[in-house]
Structure 1
Amino acid sequence: MTHNRELRLTIPSMPTSDGAGVKLRRSLGQRAVDALRLDPFLMLDEFYSDNPDDYLAGFPPHPHRGFETVTYMLDGHMQHQDHLGNTGDLGPGGVQWMTAGRGVIHSEMPQQREGRMRGFQLWINLPGAEKMKPADYRDIPAESIPELELDGARIRVIAGRIALEGQAAAGAVNAEPDSMATDPVYLDVHLEANAELVLPLPESHNAFVYPYEGELDVAGQFLRQQAVGILGEGEAVSLRAGEAGARLLLLAGRPIGEPVAQYGPFVMNTREEIEQAVADYRDGRLTDAPA
Structure 2
Amino acid sequence: MTSRLIDKVVPATSSGGPVSRLIGSVDIDGKGTSHALPEVDPFILLDLAQLNQHNRPPFGAHPHRGHSVVTLLLQGQMQSWDSFSNQHTTIKGPASYWVDAGTGVFHDETSVIADESDPAQHIKLLQLWVGVKEADRQKPARLQYDTDLPTTDLLDCETSRKAGTVTHYVGEKTTIETPHPLVVFHVQQNANTSVDLSIDPSHGGFIVMLSADDAAATVQFGGTTSPLKQHDVLVLANDVSTSSTVKATTGDHSAEYMVCAGAKHGEAWVKKLVANGAIICATTEQAQDVAPKVEAYAAAGKVEGGSFAPFGS
Verify same fold: TM over 0.5.
yes
Question: TM-score scaled to structure 1, two decimals?
Answer: 0.85
Q: Give the alignment of 1:181-220 within 5 angstroms.
A: 181-213=179-211, 214-215=215-216, 216-220=219-223
CA distance in 2, matches of 1:57, 1:7: 33
- What's the CA shift for 1:282? 2.4
Q: Give the alignment of 1:1-291 within 5 angstroms.
A: 2-17=1-16, 23-31=18-26, 35-37=36-38, 38-50=40-52, 52=53, 56-84=56-84, 85-112=86-113, 114=116, 115=118, 116-141=122-147, 144-150=148-154, 151-161=162-172, 170-174=173-177, 180-213=178-211, 214-215=215-216, 216-221=219-224, 222-232=227-237, 233=240, 234-264=243-273, 265-284=278-297, 287-289=308-310
Secondary structure at the aligned position of 1:59 is classed as: coil
The sequence identity of aligned pairs, in percent, is: 24
**CA distance 1:257–1:23, change in 2 (3 Å):** same
**CA distance 1:81–1:280, change in 2 (3 Å):** same
> Which amino acid in structure 1 is aligned with residue 287 of structure 2?
I
Q: For structure 2, list consecutive stretches of 5 or more residues without a partner in the other structure.
A: 28-33, 155-161
- What's the CA shift for 1:256? 0.9
Shift >4 Å, 4+ stretches = 32-35
Q: Which structure carries more strand by proportion?
A: 1
CA distance in 2, matches of 1:63, 1:181: 20
Question: TM-score scaled to structure 2, two decimals?
Answer: 0.79
Q: For structure 1, list consecutive stretches of 5 or more residues without a partner in the other structure.
A: 162-169, 175-179
* Greater Rg over alpha carbons, structure: 2
**Contact 2:58–2:110 (8 Å) recurs in 1:** yes
- What's the CA shift for 1:49? 4.5
CA distance in 2, matches of 1:256, 1:34: 21
**Contact 1:30–1:43 (8 Å) recurs in 2:** yes
**CA distance 1:61–1:247, change in 2 (3 Å):** same
**Contact 2:72–2:169 (8 Å) recurs in 1:** no
- What's the CA shift for 1:23? 2.2
For residues 236-278 of structure 1, give each alpha carbon's deviation from its aligned partner in whole angstroms, at most 9, with x where no partner exists. Answer: 1011123220111001011111112111211111011111220
Q: RMSD across aligned C-alpha pairs, in angstroms?
A: 2.3
CA distance in 2, matches of 1:109, 1:225: 25
